[in-house]
Amino acid sequence: MTKKKILILLLLVSVMSACIRKENDKRTEFFPKAELKAVKVPNPENLWVFILAGQSNMAGRGLVEPQDTVPNEKIYTINKNGDLIIAKEPLHFYETSIKMTGLDCGLSFGKSLIKQIPDSISVLLIPTAVGGSSISQWLGDSIHRDVKLLTNFKEKAKIGMNYGQIKGILWHQGESDAKPENISYYNNRLSKLINEFRKIIRNEKLPVLIGELGSYSNNNDLWLNINEQIKAYALTDSNATNIYTYDLKERGDKVHFDSEGQRIMGQRFANEFIKILK
């Protein structure tokens, strides 16, 4: 390789590295700079706990903006150590790469929910979603991206039960199962997993809210088939419901909801929980 070609190659690498740094800086620009520890922990009877589970669209890939880090002293989450902290996005902490971390629907759910429940109640959001995980991996307690999925769920559920009352699960998953050979099994696998969740939490009537996949995928027919499986399951479970997402937009990758979509989805999760509650 000539000296000129080497210089051109080094220049290209430098430009690419600068672009990556700029993109990462943009993604983390409004990430919280410090945790706000919970000074006064609510009594367990006044703390409603919700577990966020599934894959990347529940873990969050949206761009975190200033409004997503405005704290509310009645909405909590946990950090990597299981300590109670005031909730700010991003809530999930399982990804090792910054470019994989982003806005989920959790804080939007909490903010919408506290407007519709008694003033004495606070909300605790427990993150357990891991991007790219299939429902079979959850059922098999597989290790995915260094997380033992069902074991981690159990551990986080125990933390939640120590702090308060688990009132529901927010589930969004299915992109990894949108394959011809998996579609027909999804309903049954979802039923088994929700039963397992309820056994862990010791509540066979625990509300489970299931987000549908977006309508924007390049694999649209397969994603729609997963949504039909979700809807079919929800019809058989009086304590489960599906959250429609067909009108929400993607962030530009045909896979993940954009920030507005995540916020709207959180509001819809809250509204559907209130319906089940009533």
Residues of the domain holding 93: 34-277
Please indicate, yes or no, whether residues 62 and 106 belong to a single structural domain of this protein: yes
Spatial separation of the C-alpha atoms in residues 216 and 267, rounded to whole Å:
20
> What digits encode the pLDDT tens for the residues 149-191?
999 999 999 999 999 999 999 999 999 999 999 999 999 999 9
CA geometry: angle 200, 74, 67, nearest 5 deg: 105
Please indicate, yes or no, whether residues 7 and 135 belong to a single structural domain of this protein: no
What pTM was estimated for this model as a whole? 0.90
Which strands sit side by side in the sheet containing 240-243, from one edge to the other?
Answer: 84-86, 75-78, 122-127, 47-54, 165-172, 208-211, 240-243
Please indicate, yes or no, whether residues 6 and 55 belong to a single structural domain of this protein: no
Contact 172, 225 (CB under 8 A): no
Spatial separation of the C-alpha atoms in residues 26 and 30, rounded to whole Å:
8
Q: Which amino acid is at 119?
A: D
Which of the four pLDDT bands, split at 50, 70 and 90, describes residue 6?
low
> What pLDDT, on a 0 to 100 scale, did the predictor assign at position 9?
55
CATH number of the structural domain spanning residue 176: 3.40.50.1110
Mean pLDDT of 139-144: 98
> What digits encode the pLDDT tens for the residues 221-264?
999 999 999 999 999 999 999 999 999 999 999 999 999 999 99
Please indicate, yes or no, whether residues 40 and 119 belong to a single structural domain of this protein: yes
Residue given tokens 């010791």 in the structure block? 202
> What pLDDT, on a 0 to 100 scale, did the predictor assign at position 17?
43
> What pLDDT, on a 0 to 100 scale, did the predictor assign at position 38?
87
Please indicate, yes or no, whether residues 45 and 25 belong to a single structural domain of this protein: no
Please indicate, yes or no, whether residues 255 and 200 belong to a single structural domain of this protein: yes
Q: How many domains does the chain have?
A: 2
> What pLDDT, on a 0 to 100 scale, did the predictor assign at position 236?
97
- From residue 208, give the alpha-carbon distance in Å to each of 65, 83, 120, 155: 28, 25, 23, 19
Q: Assign residue 183 a region: left if phi > 0, alpha if psi is -120 to 50, beta otherwise? A: alpha
Nearest in space to 193 (alpha carbons), one of 48, 51, 23: 51
Please indicate, yes or no, whether residues 152 and 196 belong to a single structural domain of this protein: yes
> What pLDDT, on a 0 to 100 scale, did the predictor assign at position 25?
57
Please indicate, yes or no, whether residues 236 and 168 belong to a single structural domain of this protein: yes
Please indicate, yes or no, whether residues 15 and 49 belong to a single structural domain of this protein: no
Spatial separation of the C-alpha atoms in residues 139 and 64, rounded to whole Å:
31
CA geometry: angle 55, 60, 64, nearest 5 deg: 175
Provide CB contacts within 8 A for 62, sequence distance 6+. 102, 103, 104, 251, 256, 257, 258, 259, 261, 262
User: Could you give the residue ranges of the DSSP H alpha helices within 29-176?
Assistant: 56-59, 106-114, 135-139, 149-163
- From residue 190, give the alpha-carbon distance in Å to each of 33, 144, 186: 38, 18, 6
| Residue 116 in this model has a pLDDT that exceeds 90 | yes
Spatial separation of the C-alpha atoms in residues 193 and 135, rounded to whole Å:
8
Look up residue 212 and give its DSSP letter. Answer: P
Nearest in space to 167 (alpha carbons), one of 129, 125, 139, 199: 125
Spatial separation of the C-alpha atoms in residues 71 and 107, rounded to whole Å:
9
- What 3-state DSSP class applies to 75? strand
Residue-averaged pLDDT of the chain: 92
Looking at per-residue pLDDT, the higher value among 88 and 40 belongs to: 88
- From residue 126, give the alpha-carbon distance in Å to each of 58, 215, 254: 12, 27, 27
Please indicate, yes or no, whether residues 103 and 226 belong to a single structural domain of this protein: yes
Please indicate, yes or no, whether residues 180 and 83 belong to a single structural domain of this protein: yes
For residue 87, give both structure tokens.
Answer: 């909730």
> What pLDDT, on a 0 to 100 scale, did the predictor assign at position 134?
98
Please indicate, yes or no, whether residues 225 and 116 belong to a single structural domain of this protein: yes
Mean pLDDT of 120-144: 98
> What digits encode the pLDDT tens for the residues 9-44?
545 544 344 344 444 557 799 988 889 898 888 999
| pLDDT above 70 as % of the chain | 91
